Amino acid sequence: MKYPHILDNDTQPEKKLVFTLEIDPQDGSHHKISFLPADFKNVRHIRGNLYCAWDDEPTLGCVLLGEYK
């Protein structure tokens, strides 16, 4: 199934969505990162500032905290 990329339905084109933290699914800890949504083939908004990003397999994706800058 093809999911729409978050950038295909961007509601704030004047601002740029940037991922700031990656949440580790094993223990819930977080790590600083600086990914852009364009770095992934698929990005979906979960809720609030949480996003799920993956390339080919959704079950191998990661949960990221994002913000518009």
pLDDT of residue 1: 47
Distance, in Å, from the CA atom of 23 to the CA atom of 30, rounded to the nearest integer, reads 4
| pTM for this model (two decimals) | 0.74
Q: Where are the domains of the chain?
A: 15-68
Q: Of 19, 13, 14, whose CA–CA distance to 37 is shortest?
A: 19
Tens of pLDDT, residues 26-54: 788 888 887 788 888 888 888 888 998 88
Q: Is the pLDDT at 23 greater than 80, yes or no?
A: yes
What sign for the dihedral angle of Cα 26, 65, 59, 36?
A: negative
At CA 10, angle to CA 49 and CA 57, rounded to 5? 70
The residues, ordered by sequence, that sit 6+ positions from 4 with a Cβ below 8 Å of its Cβ are 44
